[in-house]
Amino acid sequence: MNILFLMYPWDKIDPETDSTLRLIHECVSRNHTVAIATPHNLTMRDSVSSAFCQVFKKSDVVTANIVSFYKKAEFQKSQLPLAGFDTIIMRANPPLDPITLNFLDSVRDDVFIMNDIDGLRIANTKLYTASFDDPTNHFIPVTHVSKTTEYLVDVLKESKSDKMIMKPLDGYGGHGVILVEKSAHKSFQSLLEFYINSGKGGNYVILQEYVEGADAGDVRIMMLNGEPVGAMKRVPASNDVRSNIHAGGSVIKHVLTKNEKALCKHIGPKLVRDGLYFVGIDVINEKLIEVNVQSPGGIMRINKLNNVKLQKKVIDFVESVVNAKEALAQRKHEFRKAINDAHII
């Protein structure tokens, strides 16, 4: 296969933990032609969408040590047409760049894109979590989204709980997540004004029901084609409400509970319908908090905790989709040939 990883810069990778690197290593190990590019490398020439790529030079032996693989990787630079790839694996960090998706729109019928660009459009903010059908809030905590300060102040006052979670709509990696208590409502308004007014036109803010047990950490579950394939529990650092590893949290092994499996079964079909084949979901006390769709991480840590290699399952899935598309195209070609041959006779 010809595979393009549309991602963050190569030199920004932490080879010890990076999930994208593990996916790349798996593809190179299978002797696929692998290229990488950042969204800034996208271009158009003669009305053809392409990218300035770094293509991995093939080697007879690919080291199993991923850190060594990263350090010794050699590339050939080339401008390549996007439609020439069998698959484009989206691994760029949030926030989502709409221009990137405009480039990919032109090749969506020719290339398997994971995750699907329409899915990325509708799920690139935390608002997507509230879109799952759950009228009784069994799986999804009560969520409010607004950039009207007065409304959010009233939400906090009327909340049945003494505390809520506030976060920016387009944040990631735990950035900007704050525990808000009713007793601090006097400073809440000024905090809201800072969050909302810090961006041109105003930023949307999420105010979410505080889920009990958040102080004990959250669970990151990796979902592949609508099914859970791995999980870990993230424990926050002392005096921090965030469990994200980038925020100082740590990880421990986790086995999915009955209700967590039910949650995955509940949201899995919608994820697949939306073309969100590989995502990371964050769960607290068996409730869905976030769906991470652009470059979900955790592969290395889940692998280490469970002695598995999730990247193998992910690339197996990609290969199966591409092979199915190729088989369908070949079958269509054979049917057309049969009709043309009959016409000639």
pLDDT tens track for 243-282 = 555 556 789 999 999 999 999 999 999 999 999 999 999 9
Cross-strand bridge partners of residue 205: 146, 168
Q: Do 139 and 263 contact (CB within 8 A), yes or no?
A: yes
C-alpha distance from residue 8 to each of 19, 128, 151, 209, 335 (Å): 12, 23, 37, 33, 42
* Structure letter (DSSP) for residue 275: T
Q: How far apart are CA 295 and CA 331, in angstroms?
A: 34
pLDDT beneath 50, residues of the chain: 242
Residue entry with tokens 């480039």 = 103
Task: At 91, list the tokens.
Answer: 């691994």
- What interhelical angle do 299-306 and 310-344 show, nearest 10? 110
For the chain, helix (H) and strand (E) counts, in that order, are 9, 16
- Domains of the chain with bracketed CATH: 2-114 (3.40.50.20), 142-209 (3.30.1490.20), 215-309 (3.30.470.20)
Q: Which H or E run contains 208? A: strand 205-209
Q: Do 50 and 80 contact (CB within 8 A), yes or no?
A: yes
Q: How far apart are CA 321 and CA 86, in angstroms?
A: 10
Q: What pLDDT is attached to residue 248?
A: 61
Q: What pLDDT is attached to residue 245?
A: 55
Q: How far apart are CA 82 and CA 260, in angstroms?
A: 38
Q: What pLDDT is attached to residue 61?
A: 93
Instruction: Tell me what percent of the residues of the chain surpass a pLDDT of 70.
Output: 94
Q: What pLDDT is attached to residue 168?
A: 84
DSSP 5-61: EEES-GGG--TTT-HHHHHHHHHHHTT-EEEEE-GGGEEEETTEEEEEEEEEPP-S-
Q: What pLDDT is attached to residue 51?
A: 98
Q: Record the pTM.
A: 0.88
